[in-house]
Structure 1
Amino acid sequence: MAKGKVLVWSFWVCHCVLSVVYLGLAITSFSKLVPTTRLLVGEDSSWSSYRNSLLGACFLGFLVVACFLAFSLMVLTGSRFIKDAKLAYGIMLGAAINTAWFQLLAGLVLQTSDPLMAALQQGHIWDPAHYKVYQATFVFSYILCAEYIVAAVVLLFGRRHLGRAELLPLGGATPSLAADPDMARYYDISDKHSA
């Protein structure tokens, strides 16, 4: 296995561990925020948009990270669902950048509501464990933001180490690539077979 491929896969595994922790925190915060934020919505409609932003930051953060994990696994394993590996790898690179910005936004939305959640904890509506999970959710949003930026850099520079064979279409090489002596190791083409 090439050094670049090992780098990409080991980075993806580390990313997966951080993402799974975030997914657990986000869904736990969401499930606690749903009943709690119902208390906020009364006759004043401005609280409704406040509630929606909190719930959206948790749920959409969960959804975006889970979709990135699933899609990136399909791209890196060379799934049959993905016909053009170059395009899929480029989409994964772009998705890493977009997910970084979304995680930053989700962290900011959750952090701006931290004083309200502290008041809920002091009013004994939330217990301290739920408040710590809420805080860990926005902290992990920031950690994942930085990690997705690093992931984009790794994907950008790790791509050239994957080799042409991984990035070629499923139909194989074009005849001009197959005739290239440097590509013989990928396609079992050598001078001994030409005779």
Structure 2
Amino acid sequence: MTEGVKRRYDSTRRHEQALENRRRIVAAACVLFAERGYGRTTLADIAASAGVAVETVYAAFKNKPTLLHRAWDVTVGGDDTDIQLLDRPELRDVFDEPDLPTRLRKLAAVNTRLMRRTTALRRAVETAAATDEAAAAMLAEIDRQRLESMAAHARAAETTGRLRVSEVECRDVLWTTTDGSLWHGLVQVRGWTDERYARWLGELWVGQLT
């Protein structure tokens, strides 16, 4: 009986340690990919930053593209829980808003927080995509997923009866203005606050779409 309890305890501890190692590896990858660039960051660099052996990184993620995918998912979601972005409470609140102008302003606020989290990593992927096949595939997947998300917002907007453009045009306007380039230019280059940017983006969408 005692040995059985000990084995379960050991197994639980190993599982918890493995999860903690994965979190540390992903956190280190997010920082290093954004700061150094995807191409210039090695798995050995990530292991050293995470305080684990490089073999631990390989055992957990196999290769750098797989780790990039996980780093992106965690960066987008803001945590390591496996909940799709559209199913998270802040976006459910957007979809539940019946008034379209108010909904677009709420979406702009959520998107601004998302840009704060993701833009540095996306720009690193964009840079690497010019020469790295895995990064190029990742960038294409990022934009495909974002297009699907914006299509969901456009479909929901269409049902309100307040949309003055087509559903497709709404999707395309939202998609084009949510890749991080506007946020980077106005906030990080021109010095706008996130609050000012979110207000501006919300009014842009309301003016163009409703």
Q: Which has the larger radius of gyration?
A: 1
Give the TM-score taking structure 2 as reference length: 0.29
Give the TM-score taking structure 1 as reference length: 0.31
